[in-house]
Amino acid sequence: MKYVDCRNIRAFITGCFAVLFLSACQMTCDLDQQPQVTNVVNTGAHYNSGDFNNLTEILSILDDIDVLLVSDHTLPEHVNMGTGGAQGKERVFIDPSAEVLASELNKLGLNSFTLNVEDMTFAQGGLNNKEAVNAAYAEYDKVLKKAVAKDITIIALHFDADIMISDGETEANYIGGTQIIFDPENFSSGSYRLGYYLLHDYQILESLLDAGFRPRPGYRHEFRFQANQTLKIIGGSAGGGLLLELASQEQAMRLYRSPEAVVAALQPSLQLLAQVISDFRWQLSQSEE
């Protein structure tokens, strides 16, 4: 009978178990290691014009701002010199929409600033008369001009009127809806590109239509040009400046019943808008290198 050395077999088996044990340990260690994260985006900051004591402070903080959000209209409780917007209460819809957009911009690492005309009195009184309104808008325009000089991206969020037609007429005088607007007197290449990307590449109006908000007839695939004091200033920014009508205000209320529900319905489109701005700002930064 041939003798088999059992010590060698035991050694071989022991060695195999050792290899398996070490391999298992290695796999466990690999699983315990945190994956390497790249391209971490730092959260951006948001500022509001009501947080500042004077114009100098606001102009100074603009050095750190990527995106300026302008509400343009006066609040419902202020004197309305044609400045209250749709139904005199456009700000009821603009303000929460701007808040959502600012949050989305900050998530993408962009610093944002919301500019409201009533804050331009710097606690010296409300907008209760023509003189106060005119003075506040004069200060407001100074902020816009500084933002243009700093190549900040400037977005005016608005809500449009609905259908205007007189009894007995067969055609409406006006049918409002979503649209992108510029003033033809001041229209930078940056504004054109940003508007084109929004309208055609990312199709922001189609996103708004998904929520039920109709485009203004004739402007679903085209810019609208009209005289507008804010646009006449912000359209010259190399960072892009435009006015976006998010919805016909009355249509939005008919569909969703409350400003809060309207803004909730706008969330996907506002998120898309923030992404477009972020992509555009990145593109601008590459061209500067």
Q: In sequence order, what are the beta bridge partners of 164?
A: 174
Number of residues written out for the chain: 289
Contact status, residue 150 vs residue 64, Cβ threshold 8 Å:
no
Contact status, residue 85 vs residue 251, Cβ threshold 8 Å:
no
Contact status, residue 112 vs residue 106, Cβ threshold 8 Å:
yes
Q: Where are the domains of the chain?
A: 46-164+172-288
3-state secondary structure of 155: strand
Q: Specify the residue for token string 């902020």.
A: 143
Class assignment of domain 46-164+172-288? alpha beta
Q: In sequence order, what are the beta bridge partners of 114?
A: 48, 69
- Residue 10: the pLDDT is 52
CA distances from 223 to 42, 143, 181, 215 (A): 34, 25, 6, 11
Q: Which two tokens stand for residue 76?
A: 């419902």
At 65, give phi and psi (nearest 5°). Answer: -100, 140
Q: What is the dihedral of CA 131, 135, 50, 229, to 10 degrees?
A: 110
The single-letter DSSP state of residue 53 is: S
Please list the pLDDT of the chain residue by residue as tens digits (289 residues): 444 454 454 554 455 444 444 454 454 444 445 555 456 779 999 999 999 999 999 999 999 999 999 999 999 999 999 999 999 999 999 999 999 999 999 999 999 999 999 999 998 878 999 999 999 999 999 999 999 999 999 999 999 999 999 999 999 999 999 999 999 999 999 999 999 999 999 999 999 999 999 999 999 999 999 999 999 999 999 999 999 999 999 999 999 999 999 999 999 999 999 999 999 999 999 987 6
Q: What is the pTM of this model?
A: 0.87
